[in-house]
Amino acid sequence: MTEGDERWIARLTPPAGRDVAALLGMSLAVDVWERHVDSLVVAASAAQLAELERRGMAEVDRWATQGEYEAQVRNRAATGDGAEPGPAGAAKGGEQSDAI
C-alpha cells in the first residue's frame, strides 16, 4: 500500500460561505459516514483528503487511519472502557449521520 492510498476516517468542514449540502452535492469519491449541521464524517484515502485540502473544498480533520480506528473500536468493545476513537470533540454538533 502506498502512502497516498491509506484510508482515513476524517471530519470535513466546508470553508466559510459554503455549506454541507454543497459539499454533498459534489462528486468527491469519499465514503460519507455521518452528516452533521456543519461537517461530514467520511472515510477516504490520504490522497483524496489531500486533494480536498489542496482545492480548498474542505478543512480536513484526520481522526485515525481505518486500521487504527477499527482497532480502537474493537479494543473499546472488548475492554468496555470509554476510550474514544478520534478526538474527544468528535461527537459534538452531531444531529445525524450515516449510511442509507
Partner 1 sequence: MASLIARVTSSSARSPLTRLLTAPLGLDVWEVGPDHVVLQAEEVQADRLEAMGYLVEQLQMTEPYVSAFATEAAAAGYHTVATLEQDLRRLADGHPEIAELVEIGRSVEGRPLWALRIGERRGSARKVAFFGCHHAREWISVEVPYRLAEHLLDNSSSEPVQGWLQQGEVWVAPMVNPDGHEHTRTTDRLWRKNRRRNERGSIGVDPNRNYGYMWGTLDVSTSSHVPSDQTYVGPRAFSEPEVRAVRDLVARQLIGGVLSYHSYSQLVLYPWGYTDDAIEDEADLSSMRGLAEDIQDLVKGVHGTTYVAQQASQLYPTAGDTTDWTYGEYDVPSLTIELRPASALEGGFILPADQIEPCWEENRPAALEFIRRVLAPPQG
What does the binding site for Zn ion look like in residue numbers (CB under 5 A)?
99
Check residue 57 for interaction with partner 1 (CB under 8 A): no
Helix (H) or strand (E) segment spanning residue 41: strand 40-45
One residue of 33, 57, 61, 62 binding partner 1 per CB under 8 A: 33
Task: Give which of 34, 48, 42, 33 is closest to 10, Cα–Cα.
Answer: 42
37 binds, among Zn ion, partner 1, none (CB under 5 to 8 A by kind): none
What is the C-alpha to C-alpha distance for residues 82 and 26, in angstroms, rounded to an integer? Answer: 36
One residue of 16, 17, 81, 96 binding partner 1 per CB under 8 A: 96
